[in-house]
A = this chain, B = another copy of it.
Amino acid sequence: MGKAWSVEAVAGRLGITTRTLHYYEEVGLIPPVQRTPGGHRMYDEATIARLEQILRLRDVLGYTLQEIRQVMDVEDVLQGYRAQLEAGVEPEVRMDILEHSIQLLETVVAHIDEKVERLEAMRQRYRERLARIEEKLAKHRKEVDEGE
């Protein structure tokens, strides 16, 4: 039996507000959360892991909730595949599933790659400016050295 977390506990752990947790459930980013008989939400570790992934996509990639939903849809498909595999299925179907899963993950990685490339291009621009100024400073130091 996995431990169950209250909204506030999860919010504290993830550094977000309870409103955000409610909202993400409301818009379907996470499936309906388990409840106590009285109606209070109980979050399990799987849901928390999903939330962590959502927050990474939000904060690291800067994705909108729509884009995040697309990624999570992929996750759900993968999860479905895993379930099918567990349930046992004919070998060819099995391979199809694995290959499709690979494809899905590769597109995600490709997106990240693209983002990294653009970032590195930007960094390069700044580095070049930096190099020019450093060069200027070095030349200047030499002049001062010799001049005095």
Contacts and interface: CB of A to CB of B under 8 A. Distances in A.
A130 B106 contact: yes
B105 A126 contact: yes
B126 A91 contact: no
A19 B102 CA distance: 43
A108 interface: yes
A140 B108 contact: no
Contacts of A35: none
A102 B130 contact: yes
Given A122-B112, A123-B112, A123-B113, A141 B105 contact: no
B105 A61 contact: no
Given A108-B126, A115-B119, A126-B108, A98 B136 contact: yes
A116 interface: yes
A94 to B, nearest CB: 6
10 contacts: A61-B119, A91-B140, A91-B143, A94-B140, A98-B140, A102-B137, A105-B126, A105-B129, A105-B130, A109-B127
